[in-house]
Homo-oligomer: A and B are copies of this chain.
């Protein structure tokens, strides 16, 4: 059984002690190799560019350039970028969301024990398969709110009526909508009336509310 190439790891954290501790933990594993360290976000970017590691453990709070920006920069400028694991202290830290958006492959809590740490590094190195924490759960519920089952009336609206509703939801008056759609104001009034009837609302404000609640603007 030949020994495969070790997983090359870079540590980015402004506190030397943290880096030392992480290095000690990871170096104890034969399949992990800490190839570099960085104390700032900017340094992290250049170190990664030079050493091309497989995994980066990136602290969020760092001087000059924080971990989020560093992550963005690495993913944007390095080709075949490493998997970046953002390290944070609190699970509900808003940095978590930023990290996800920035393209982090995952994140770790600082209180994670040594075992979890090395397993996380291994997993993310060969990743594809993934896992989640409580913080993300709130995201899922938000997602549910943002994507409700499209209400019955959505299907009943004709093309023109949809257009008009979309324009209403932009805050346009009937006259403006008429100009925008290159039709007469009376035509717009007809469509508006149809929209109100089909949505079961009594005025344009309620119709716009219904559109927002149905996340109508996301579709089509």
Contact = CB atoms under 8 A, between A and B. Distances in A.
Given A209-B170, A212-B212, A129 B108 contact: yes
Interface in A105-121: 105-109, 111-113, 115-117, 119-120
A132 B136 CA distance: 9
A103 B140 CA distance: 10
B131 A109 contact: no
A126 B109 CA distance: 13
Contact of A112 (B128, B132, B144, B205): B128
Contacts of A198: none
A208 B106 CA distance: 38
A99 B106 CA distance: 18
Contact of A123 (B98, B119, B169, B204): B119
Number of copies of this chain in the oligomer?
Answer: 2
A166 to B, nearest CB: 12
A116 B128 contact: yes
A162 B106 CA distance: 39
A137 interface: yes
A173 B129 CA distance: 52
A194 interface: no
Contacts of A132: 100, 104-107, 130-132, 136
A141 interface: yes
Contacts of A208: 205, 208-209
A186 interface: no
A78 to B, nearest CB: 18
Contacts of A85: 131
Contact of A100 (B100, B123, B137, B171): B137
Contacts of A98: 140
B116 A131 contact: no
Contacts of A109: 128-129
